[in-house]
Chain A
């Protein structure tokens, strides 16, 4: 991946444990590759993030998810790539919205017990990174490393 670009990591509901670990891991990876990384999520997901990374070693910029969507629609911001995290229909729906409103290259990061079922519902253009991971982040980390060397 090239440096000097912007990336959005869009978190879904934070109830599945692997999400937070992978968001921190991917943010670190993209940051080292020169990406300007922003993480968007619900109020609860962002609180989890701030508690997990209090000194902002891995994540420097955060945004409330609906504000992020509003700002993209209003053309105040946009990103070169977007990693949409999802384990449910609602997460897929947010990702479909992002695909429609943003010019970002889309990556759908799909995890949880129903990962394969959720992946099948995706009809928008996106590179799918799928792993049936709930507590153990390694299968999802390995898939991410394969997709983004």
Chain B
């Protein structure tokens, strides 16, 4: 079991589908970042999900999907400016790499859910 369940968290959605959870994060966050499955947060939680996985920043809260095989997908929130900053830094790195390659920065992150499988 991940340490996440021992942390102080808030649940915004419970026992829903992954798609609905992603849409909730996209609609209810101030900032949205997309990561691949297996992205690690809070030291030992490797995110489960259908790529691209949306993570949201809402004030000091990080909104993320948490999947349990017998209970479905949850949208959880944990206050962590550190994790939000790590996402901002990661996004910045993508833009720099993209610029160095001479491509528009929009290519750094898939534009939509379907784009990931087009590659």
Q: Which residues of A contact B (CB under 8 A)?
A: 12-15, 41-42, 44-45, 65-66, 69-70, 72-73, 88-94, 96-97, 100-101, 123-125
Cross-chain pair count, CB within 8 angstroms: 72
- The answer to whether A97 touches B69 (Cβ under 8 A) is no
- The answer to whether B18 touches A70 (Cβ under 8 A) is no
Q: How far is the CA of A44 from the CA of B117 in the complex (A)?
A: 33
Closest chain A residue to B48, Cβ basis: A97
Query: Within residues 22 to 51 of chain B, which ones have a CB less than 8 A from any CB in chain A?
Result: 36-38, 40, 44, 46, 48-51
Residue picked from A44, A88, A90, most chain B C-beta under 10 Å: A90
Please give, as numbers and ranges, the residues of chain B lying within 8 Å of A91 by CB-CB distance. 69
Q: How far is the CA of A73 from the CA of B51 in the complex (A)?
A: 15
Mind listing 26 A-B residue pairs with CB under 8 Å? Answer: A15-B70, A45-B69, A66-B1, A66-B2, A66-B46, A66-B48, A69-B38, A72-B38, A89-B18, A89-B72, A90-B18, A90-B68, A90-B70, A92-B50, A93-B18, A93-B67, A94-B48, A94-B67, A96-B37, A96-B50, A96-B51, A97-B38, A100-B36, A100-B51, A124-B117, A125-B117
Closest chain B residue to A123, Cβ basis: B117
Q: How far is the CA of A73 from the CA of B38 in the complex (A)?
A: 6
- The answer to whether A93 touches B48 (Cβ under 8 A) is yes
Main SS of chain A's interface residues?
helix
Closest chain B residue to A86, Cβ basis: B69
Residue picked from A14, A89, A92, A124, most chain B C-beta under 10 Å: A89
Does B85 reach chain A (CB closer than 8 Å)?
no
Main SS of chain B's interface residues?
loop
- The answer to whether A89 touches B70 (Cβ under 8 A) is no
Closest chain A residue to B114, Cβ basis: A123
- The answer to whether B72 touches A90 (Cβ under 8 A) is yes
- The answer to whether B69 touches A69 (Cβ under 8 A) is no
**Known contacts A89-B18, A90-B67, A124-B117; A97 and B40 CB within 8 A of each other:** no
B33 to nearest A CB, angstroms? 17
Q: How far is the CA of A89 from the CA of B68 in the complex (A)?
A: 10
- The answer to whether B37 touches A42 (Cβ under 8 A) is no
- The answer to whether A70 touches B46 (Cβ under 8 A) is yes
Please give, as numbers and ranges, the residues of chain B lying within 8 Å of A97 by CB-CB distance. 37-38, 48-50
Does B92 reach chain A (CB closer than 8 Å)?
no
Please give, as numbers and ranges, the residues of chain A lying within 8 Å of B69 by CB-CB distance. 12-13, 41-42, 45, 65, 90-91, 94
Does B80 reach chain A (CB closer than 8 Å)?
no
B119 to nearest A CB, angstroms? 11
